[in-house]
Amino acid sequence: MSANAPVVKIAAKQPSGTEAEVPRTSRNILTWRWWPLITSAALCAALLFHFGVATTEIATYSAYLGLAVVTPGILLWRALHGPSRTLLDDVVIGSALGLVFSLGSYLLARLLGIPALALTAPAVVLILFAAHPKLRGHWRARNPEKVPRWFSWAISAVTLVSLSWIAWRAFTTHPFTGDAASSPYLDIPYHLALAGELKNHAPPQVPYLAGEPLNYHWFAHAHLAASSWGTGIELEVLLLRLSIVPLLAITIIGSALLAVRLSSRWWTGIAATVIGFWLTAISPFQFTEEPIVFETRALDDWWWQSPTQAFGAALFAGTLLLLVSMLRNGARAGSWLLLAIFLIALAGSKGTFLPVLLVGILAVIAVERFNKKLWNRTALIAAAQVFTVLALAMLVVYRGQSDGMSVRPLHNMGRMPAVVASHLGMPWLPLRPWVLLIIGSLTVLIWLMRATGALGLGKKEQRTDPLVALLVGVTAAGVGATIVFAHTGFSEYYFLRSVAPLIGVASACGLAALTDKHMRLIPPLLAGAALTGALYWLSPTQATLADESGRAAALWTLAWPYLVLLTGASITAATLWHMKTRAVAIAALASVLIGGGLFGVAREWTGIIEQFDKQGTSARTLPSNATPLPHGAREASRWLRAHSDPDAIIATNAHCRGRDGQGRCDNRAFWISGYSERRVLIEGWGYTERTGSNSKTTPFMYRPYWNPAKLAANDAAFTTPSDRSIATLRDTYHVTWLFVDLRESVDFSALSDNTTLRYRSGDCAIFEIR
């Protein structure tokens, strides 16, 4: 053997059972990969229990979610698409698919008149995948990549903190017992009414206006109805507590995974969720008692005020992850089927998602055509699918109605000057075009503050990436639609809310591109963020001077945030300029905005903690736009539900949520249909096509009912009860029960002579028509 020959050392094979072979069961328990999930589930359960959800309800809903939603969804996802990059991708997209699967199963069973039959569909899936040899392999995770443990812990923390914020905003203001339980946010009874309608009927009608077609995206309410049938849990508990948890988790984790897929860096997933869900905008408007510029962060009150938006956000996250996989890795037949299923579900969940998705896919086609002179076949087919589903939804779900939405560019900006003048205590602010221009520009800048990091996507490598085009196109469409459209109830802002998580994704991916080859940027960026945040922490919190003598102080309060930005940006830019980098402007701007936003979050949570210290978790205040219910309303409604047929029609004299200073009736009355889960002949008539589309001169909530003769016949049974008036309700409108609000005009004695009093509680009485 040559003296220079390499020496090859061969390790001796260790026999089975020696110390070199460590049994799986003896691994360090602290490094078990399921600890983040178990810890998160335990803390989430504790939070729900603290806010009034029974342990049996938590256990039942968890079992339903796992066996009837998540597991069937994962199995179907793997069978149709194949395994994803990680197990976490499988779980997130599979859970979103499971929501659609359970929804479809329930609607079919409800149409057949056997809603309990919906649970057989997931059971069949589980049995089929366990019994069939070719499907059995899908039970096993075969993902090529593992999720870093630190990422699992970090994303769990982001989700739990976000849920805690929602608990502070919603759970504390909506207890299930006590006086506060009878003053819900005005839309809660509305959503309960729609969920109750879908619990008992399909296809649905407007439950508080029996016989009126429901031209609305109601899939989220069908999801609540399916969950109620599957678990036996009250709709109110599902709406205000339990259903929020999986929808929030899917959206947050899905947004994080989307950032990881676009940037190939795990840290961007956490950055995307922190920026998109937590970051507050540095805005003069937020120093008022009630911000008048809608926050663009994804963590907002719509998680509990708008179940349609929450449900749609979860499905949208799954749709985008699927589409990214198809555009990057190619599409198989099962992928196209999955995309069609997701699109149909999105169409019936919230009307704002498909239009922005279509624009994003068109952006992919344009970028590919411009840069590669090729037509992206996958994007073309996907665009055709989205367009087809969108067109069908307009015909089938919305029946060609606009529901008060119209094209009015900058209309919402036109409302800003007077509102700003009022809220900032400056009635002397001139309402002139230049004021509109300034306030409108500030508003759009505030919306886009979280997207500052996305400027890093301007590099050539990112400009030619079709996935970046999809992300930027969808986000830009959401912002643009909010500016172009106007709605009688401010619903154009849901376009912006629909893309809010993606603003964080774009910013995080841009920061990754920015720092990829400039790692030395990171220290000055962090220093600039800390400096800006510290200055922001010391800034005023509210403008309080309301007369002309306070102009200087009020204007100083307005100017302070921008002086903070200017100072932080200048110092950071000077440092980076000294380092002679070409990314000076972008890095400095992103640094100060993110720093200020994070310290804004810290100040927000400091206020929350102080409130907890003062009064614990009891109901802190009534929610804004609360609807005080009559004394005994909940009890009477529940009695009626227990003693009437689901197909019964109720008549009532309670038509108004309240009256304004001019005595006009607020037609948004939904509480009887909401808590009784029964159809009402005429309760209210708000949120219908006829009130929404004809409210250019009179606000929609004060428009009168369009059929005065029918309303008069309804009210005659209460104000002048007689055999004739009661017979009209019974024979013409098929009414069998009368729900009386004793605060309104009623001849109680005559009513008792012509009907049978069955129940009375507080200001409410229930009569049965003989």
Q: What is the pLDDT of residues 144-189, one digit of tens each?
A: 899 999 999 999 999 999 999 999 888 988 999 888 888 999 999 9
H/E run at residue 366: helix 353-372
List b or e across 169-187, with b for residues whose CB sees 16 or more CB atoms inside 10 angstroms.
bbbbbbbbeeebebbbbbb
Quick check: 678 and 474 in contact, CB under 8 A?
no
Average confidence (pLDDT) over 537-543: 52
Residue 530: exposure state from Cβ atoms within 10 A (0-12, 13-18, ≥19) = middle
pLDDT given at position 485: 81
Lowest mean pLDDT across 28-37, 478-487, 586-595: 586-595
d(CA 134, CA 256): 33
The pair of three-digit structure tokens given for residue 435, joined into one six-digit string: 């004021």
Q: How confident is the model at residue 8 (pLDDT cuts 50, 70, 90)?
A: very low
pLDDT at 559: 57
In Å, the largest CA–CA distance within the chain is 119
Whether 505 has a pLDDT exceeding 90, the answer reads yes
- Tokens 């701007």 identify what position? 589
Phi then psi for 406, rounded to 5 degrees? -150, 160
**Can you tell me the distance from the alpha carbon of 88 to that of 94, in angstroms, rounded to the nearest whole number?**
9
Q: Note the pLDDT of residue 527.
A: 66
Name the token pair of 685. Answer: 């008539």
- What are the backbone angles phi and psi of residue 451, rounded to the nearest 5°? -90, 10
**What are 28's strand-pairing partners?**
none
Amino acid at 219: F
Split at pLDDT 50, 70, 90, the class of 122 is very high
On whether the CB atoms of residues 644 and 168 are closer than 8 A, the answer is no
Average pLDDT over every residue of 350-370: 95
- Cα(477)–Cα(496) distance, integer angstroms: 9
> pTM for this structure?
0.88
| Residue 373 pLDDT | 85
Query: Tokens for 232?
Result: 């036996």
Averaged pLDDT of the chain? 83
pLDDT at res. 699: 84
Name which of 301-305, 393-397, 708-712 the model is least confident about.
393-397
Residue of 704, 682, 694, 702 lying closest to 205 (CA atoms): 682
pLDDT digits (tens, 9 = 90+) for 567-602: 655 665 566 565 555 555 566 556 656 666 666 666
Whole-Å CA distances, 419 to 228, 437, 580, 711:
41, 15, 45, 36
Query: Where are the extended beta strands (E) located within 47-135?
Result: none
Residue type at position 70: V
Q: For the chain, how are helix, strand and coil distributed in percent, rounded to 5?
A: 65, 5, 30
Distance CA 374, CA 387 (A): 21
pLDDT of residue 691: 83
Burial 723-762 (b: 16+ CB within 10 A, else e): eebbebbbeebebbbbbbbbebebeeeebeebbeeebbbb
If one compares 600 and 121, the residue with the highest pLDDT of the two is 121
Which H or E run contains 329? helix 307-329
In the block, residue with structure tokens 């009375």:
760
Q: To the nearest 10°, report the CA torsion of 542, 547, 550, 553.
A: 30
Q: Give me 62's structure tokens.
A: 């968890």
Return the ∠ at Cα 718 (arms to 716 and 722), rounded to 5°. 65
The structure tokens listed for 598 are 């994070």
What is the pLDDT at residue 19?
Answer: 40
Does pLDDT of 528 surpass 80? no
Amino acid in position 518: H
Determine contact, residues 446/464, Cβ cutoff 8 Å. no
How many helices (DSSP H) and strands (DSSP E) are in the chain? 33, 7
Taking each helix axis from N to C terminus, what angle separates 219-231 and 333-349, rounded to the nearest 10 degrees? 100
Q: At what angle do helices 307-329 and 244-263 cross, to 10 degrees?
A: 30
Provide the residue type at 668 as one letter. Answer: R
Are the C-beta atoms of 712 and 674 separated by less than 8 Å? no
CB half-sphere exposure, 535, CA atoms < 13 A: 21
Q: Which residue from 112, 312, 320, 113 is spatially nearest to 223, judged by alpha carbons?
A: 312
Of 183-192, 266-275, 295-304, 424-433, the one with minimum mean pLDDT is 424-433
Confidence of residue 349 (pLDDT cuts 50, 70, 90): very high
Domain ranges of the chain: 183-221+629-770, 519-615
Determine if residue 400 is left, alpha or beta; phi over 0 gives left, psi from -120 to 50 gives alpha, anything else beta. left
Residue 508 Cα to chain centre, angstroms:
21
Nearest to 470 by CA among 391, 337, 378, 343: 378
> What angle, 0 to 180 degrees and rounded to 10, lies between the N-to-C axes of helices 500-515 and 307-329?
40
> 14-42 in b/e burial notation, b at 16+ Cβ within 10 A?
eeeeeeeeeeeeeeeeeeeeeebeeebee
Residue 501 has pLDDT above 50, yes or no: yes
Supply the pLDDT for residue 487: 72
For residue 504, how many other CB atoms are within 10 A of its CB? 30
Distance between CA 347 and CA 761 in Å, rounded? 42
**Which residue would you say has higher pLDDT here, 201 or 413?**
201
State the DSSP string of 665-723: B-----HHHHHH--EESSS--TTSHHHHTT-SSS-GGGPPPS-HHHHHHHHHHHHS--H
Tell me what pLDDT residue 2 has: 44
Using 50, 70 and 90 to split pLDDT, how confident is the model at 307?
A: very high
